[in-house]
Amino acid sequence: MLSKRLFSTSSRQLTKVAVSKLGNGITVITKPSSGKQAVGVYLNSGSRAENAYNSGISTLLGNLVTSSKSSKDALVNEGVKYYSSNAKEVTGLLSATYPRGNSKGALSAIKNTLESLESIVSDEVVLGEQKEKSIALTEAFENSPKDMVIEHMIGTAFQGTTLGLPKYGKAETIEVLQSLDLKNYLSKNLVSSNIAIVSVGDEINHESLAKFASQLPSINSGAKADFPETSFLGSDIRLRDDTLPQAHAAISVLTPGLHDTHAYYTGLVAAQINGSYEGVASPFSPFVGSTLAQLLEENHLIDSFDHFQLAYSDVGLWGGYFASHNVGCYDETIHFALKNWNRFSTGTVNEIEFAKAKAELKLRLLKAPACPVQHSESLATKAFALGYVPSEEEISSNVDSVTSSAISKWAQKYLYDQDIAIAGNGQIEALFDYNRIRNDIMYTRSFLRARPALKSFHRSKQLLRTYATSSGGGRSKTNHFIPLTLLGLTALGLTFYNAGNNVKPPTAAIDPTTSTVQGSALFPSEKFKDPINVVFVLGGPGSGKGTQCGKLVKDYKFVHLSAGDLLRLEKNTPGSEFGELIDHYIKEGLIVPQEITINLLKNAIVKEYNNGSRNFLIDGFPRKMDQAISFENTVSEGKLVLYFECPEEIMLKRLLNRGKTSGRSDDNLESIKKRFTTFIETSMPVVEYFEDQNKVIKVNCNEPVDEVYSHVVKELKDKKII
């Protein structure tokens, strides 16, 4: 049994932060502390106040200040050490640590430096030296795989906006910056309403610091310029480098910023539940870490990972970073990590995990940084974004207020079926393309709680086959049978847990849309006045689906709707809104977004229904689990699935022959192979899903056409469809 001590927080005396905004516009922040002393000047600027032509100017300015004559004099004469920093929305122009008993010397040194800023940025010799130092900093940052891949993830998420600029800048822009650029930057950003003066320690009280700030003669008054608006774009960036020993990737979704307190703390708790793992460097065994750490470590899929809730003044990113030496199975690393994220949507995080994460999060948030300079920057960041600094009591209360149901609602709104930003680096050949990773954000099997839970083993068996044949990991089938069987049993247990606790699934990926049928929305209880029979026709490309459907249409008056034909028709329709998008997906052998396909099918069914038809063959659909669920929720239940089984070599031969005359852009060897892969990976789970409901008719297509047709007719008659 777990001790209550694990979930307790420290009973130490909580210290409050004092925040004031002076009449001249400067924000003054003091935090009593008995440790090291620091005082600093911060700008509400950061890389977000830069642009594509001066990216890195904040970093350069900070380096100029810390290397200036004023900085050297402060150290020699007062024992005051200068530091600078830069983040997305905050620039640490200068932060000073000082020995006890010399707070006046520290404040005097800061005042002298602020008064000398114009001369500091005008020294061309020092400017040239500090350009090289700033460029070296950007290069060092790029050589840190974790820092670099997360920075690139932010860059692709907010590409085209200033939030997407690197926080330390770009070497090519730093190299051409001049003294005039720095002076212009200071005139816009070194204004009173954009400044916070922060003290951490017990030597400078709030009243003294406010008096100091009000008497600074070198600060111009003026309004702070708002940050340019930003926007999120689901996208990815990949920098494959096979000289690195690992694969690295960071994946995130868009969340609210610091202004949305409830969403921010809910995201923090969710990130803490999955937590972090540092492999051999972890202070604990994976068995006392998160469930994700246990799963990935047990199957040798991870070296380290870290989950995060990044938050800025108006937007945020929630996600995770994953590094693995098992590069051949990196697709499995990402797959299982994202499937673990889906537990938030369904509320299957257990109470022990939940309580443990909240306790750990409070300890982390309430523990002040050991470095007073870092502590000062943290206080300035919160004050700029929120207008105040939350007290420790408020932080603790905000964490405690997060409930399991709140996490489920948060995940269904911001995580489930949302666009993602991806950055990859290193040996990432096995990292799936954007759309396949995007699909893992959507729930597939485990929220279908009413279905037999044995389907949870299918993924385990598939992974077992992968390990048995993969050269990347070099491990045998025997070595992984036990852990992967346990993995399947875990999924089995979670499925029964969901069923017993009546856990609701996430909302549908698309909303029911209004139809001409009865003039109402197509909800399951009121779709059509007369019942209809929808038979899904599935099989690999070239298995003969179209041929058999044609015969059924001729003999039994079915309406044959081919999802592929409808998409190609839409693609070729002049002025089509989705034509170019559909063309890209078809050529790449990928699955077209379900919203488009389902809408085309729905419109076609409604049209034929109004013409008196009641029996429908839907050829080549659904090809993914989310398509099946959304179609049944918004259009009609599927009565049966005709599944045409055919050897791949025969299908390939048929398609290549068809390609000589069909004129179809996807009847070529490269597209065909992609379509085979896509069918196996995404469509077979659909067949298994309907097979569990006893709705699948399997037909062997490696026979003459008429024999295949006779078997189809017999089965449909037995099922009373015809």
Encode 186-207: b = buried (16+ Cβ within 10 Å), e = exposed. Answer: beebbbbbbbbbbbbbbbbebe
List Cα–Cα distances, 452 to 219, 474, 692, 694, in angstroms. Answer: 70, 34, 7, 11
Q: Are residues 32 and 149 in the same domain?
A: yes
Give the model confidence (pLDDT) of 168-189 as tens digits.
Answer: 999 999 999 999 999 999 999 9
Q: Does residue 432 lie within any of the structural domains?
A: yes
Q: Are residues 211 and 240 in the same domain?
A: no
71: left (phi over 0), alpha (psi -120 to 50) or beta: alpha
State the Cα–Cα distance between residues 158 and 165, nearest whole angstrom. 8
State the Cα–Cα distance between residues 404 and 653, nearest whole angstrom. 53
Which residue ranges are tagged as binding site? 542-547, 568, 590-592, 620-623, 627, 658, 664, 675, 703
Which residue ranges are tagged as binding site for a ribonucleoside 5'-phosphate? 568, 590-592, 620-623, 627, 664, 675
State the Cα–Cα distance between residues 162 and 58, nearest whole angstrom. 13
Q: Are residues 139 and 239 in the same domain?
A: no
Domain boundary among 441, 472, 488: 441
Q: How many CB atoms lie within 10 A of CB 670?
A: 11
What is the per-residue pLDDT for 271? 96
Domain boundary among 441, 466, 491: 441
State the Cα–Cα distance between residues 547 and 394, nearest whole angstrom. 67
Q: What is the CATH number of the domain that holds 537?
A: 3.40.50.300
Average pLDDT, the chain: 81
C-beta of residue 373 within 8 angstroms of C-beta of residue 380: no
User: Residue holding tokens 């008659």?
Assistant: 717
What is the percentage of the chain residues whose pLDDT exceeds 70? 81
Residue 429 has pLDDT above 80, yes or no: yes
Q: Are residues 102 and 244 in the same domain?
A: no
State the Cα–Cα distance between residues 472 and 331, nearest whole angstrom. 12
Residue 458 has pLDDT above 60, yes or no: no
Domain total for the chain?
3
Q: Does residue 647 lie within any of the structural domains?
A: yes
H helices, E strands: number in the chain? 29, 17
Q: Does residue 5 lie within any of the structural domains?
A: no
Give the model confidence (pLDDT) of 362-420 as tens digits.
Answer: 988 988 888 899 999 999 999 999 988 998 889 999 999 999 889 989 998 999 889 99
Q: Are residues 155 and 277 in the same domain?
A: no
State the Cα–Cα distance between residues 703 and 700, nearest whole angstrom. 7
Q: What is the CATH number of the domain that holds 289?
A: 3.30.830.10
Sign of CA pseudo-dihedral 61, 66, 67, 73: positive
Q: Are residues 162 and 254 in the same domain?
A: no
Structure tokens at 237: 């960036």
Q: How many CB atoms lie within 10 A of CB 229?
A: 10
Give the model confidence (pLDDT) of 627-661 as tens digits.
Answer: 888 788 888 999 999 998 888 777 777 777 776 66
Q: Does residue 510 lie within any of the structural domains?
A: no
Q: Does residue 447 lie within any of the structural domains?
A: no
What is the per-residue pLDDT for 627? 80
Model confidence at 681, pLDDT cuts 50, 70, 90, reads low
Q: Does residue 520 lie within any of the structural domains?
A: no
Model confidence at 475, pLDDT cuts 50, 70, 90, reads very low
What is the per-residue pLDDT for 520? 29
Which residue ranges are tagged as binding site for ATP? 542-547, 658, 703
Q: Are residues 241 and 163 in the same domain?
A: no
Q: Are residues 549 and 685 in the same domain?
A: yes
Give the model confidence (pLDDT) of 564-609 as tens digits.
Answer: 889 888 888 887 777 887 887 777 766 677 778 888 999 899 999 9
Cα separation of the two ends of the chain: 61
State the Cα–Cα distance between residues 163 and 154, nearest whole angstrom. 8
Q: Does residue 453 lie within any of the structural domains?
A: no
Give the model confidence (pLDDT) of 270-321 as tens digits.
Answer: 999 998 988 755 554 555 568 888 888 888 889 999 999 999 999 999 999 9
Q: Are residues 204 and 241 in the same domain?
A: no
What is the per-residue pLDDT for 282? 56
What is the per-residue pLDDT for 445? 36
What is the per-residue pLDDT for 657? 77
Domain boundary among 441, 460, 493: 441
Residue 9 has pLDDT above 70, yes or no: no
- Domain housing 181: 18-215
Q: Are residues 243 and 186 in the same domain?
A: no
Q: Does residue 390 lie within any of the structural domains?
A: yes
Q: Are residues 249 and 207 in the same domain?
A: no
List Cα–Cα distances, 304 to 307, 321, 463, 519, in angstroms. Answer: 11, 8, 21, 54
Q: Are residues 147 and 252 in the same domain?
A: no
C-beta of residue 29 within 8 angstroms of C-beta of residue 19: yes
State the Cα–Cα distance between residues 45 and 43, nearest whole angstrom. 5
Model confidence at 469, pLDDT cuts 50, 70, 90, reads very low
Q: What is the DSSP letter of 227?
A: P
Residue 493 has pLDDT above 70, yes or no: no
Residue 444 has pLDDT above 50, yes or no: no
What is the per-residue pLDDT for 660? 67
Give the model confidence (pLDDT) of 519-534 as tens digits.
Answer: 223 333 345 788 899 9
Model confidence at 703, pLDDT cuts 50, 70, 90, reads confident
pTM above 0.85, yes or no: no
